Amino acid sequence: MGKQYLKLQLLTVDQLSAVVELDQRCLGGLWTKDGYQREIESPNSDLIIWKREGKTGDQEPKKEEFQLPQIELTDVESSSDQLIGIGCLWAILEEAHITILAIDPEYQGKGLGQALLFQLLVSAWKRKLERATLEVKVSNQPAINLYKKFGFKEAGCRKGYYQDTGEDALILWRGDLHHPHFPNTLHHWYQEICLKLN
């Protein structure tokens, strides 16, 4: 069996069915195919995926600033192409609203979630946005830990925000994305993330 790789890419229209399947596996069916299609078409949305695939022999795309490397998988059991992670932000005025962040349960705990959050923050920085925000269930400690690791701070609570459980949402904010020192912070995270992915 050939080698398999994990790569970060922007979602494309040919992956709409796969992304809905991933959404159902990870998020219980948050958005529909039409919803994802609108995200792809929107100039204010960045929708990034982790994709698993066999090496196609394509040239590596031009190296962009803070572009993370593809990862070679060592425990190859399946040769099928598959989406295993998704992250989305909406640029609204000077804010990045992180609307989705999820990793397939089989691939959690390997540094892929933080790599995806990092890529979203890089996107926000490239768009010259000033801060990032999101809501998270108060009981979702893995996600809260992840966001705090990247400098998000609690700014409030929305009572009964989640319709499925009636649970409260924590509102988190991460400021200073336009600060002159933020590229240094990105560089520091980049090195840590690459180490973890290796």
Ligand X SMILES: CC(C)(COP(=O)(O)OP(=O)(O)OC[C@H]1O[C@@H](n2cnc3c(N)ncnc32)[C@H](O)[C@@H]1OP(=O)(O)O)[C@@H](O)C(=O)NCCC(=O)NCCS
Contact 76, 63 (CB under 8 A): no
Percent of residues in the chain assigned helix, strand, coil, to nearest 5: 35, 30, 35
Q: Which stretch binds ligand X (CB under 6 A): 7-15, 121-129, 143-151, 183-191?
A: 143-151
Distance CA 144, CA 137 (A): 8
For position 113 contacting ligand X by CB under 6 A, the verdict is yes
Angle between helices 33-41 and 16-27 (to 10 degrees): 120
Binders of ligand X among residues 117 to 136 (CB under 6 A) are 134, 136
Annotated active-site residue 147? The verdict is: yes
DSSP 111: S
Catalytic residue among 36, 39, 147, 190: 147
- Furthest-apart CA pair in the chain: how many Å? 51
Contact 118, 129 (CB under 8 A): no
Tell which one of 6, 8, 47, 102 touches ligand X (CB under 6 A). Answer: 102
Annotated active-site residue 135? The verdict is: yes
25 to 64: interface string for ligand X, x by CB under 6 A? -x--------------------------------------
Q: Nearest residue by C-beta to ligand X?
A: 113
For position 111 contacting ligand X by CB under 6 A, the verdict is yes
For position 156 contacting ligand X by CB under 6 A, the verdict is no
For position 110 contacting ligand X by CB under 6 A, the verdict is yes
Contact 67, 114 (CB under 8 A): no
Distance CA 106, CA 98 (A): 23
For position 86 contacting ligand X by CB under 6 A, the verdict is no
DSSP strand pairing (95-103 vs 131-137): parallel
For position 101 contacting ligand X by CB under 6 A, the verdict is yes
CB of 115 to ligand X, least distance (A): 7
Task: For the beta carbon of residue 111, count every other beta carbon within 10 angstroms.
Answer: 19
Report the interface residues with ligand X, using CB under 6 A: 26, 101-103, 108-114, 134, 136, 140-143, 145-146, 149
Residues designated as active site: 135, 147
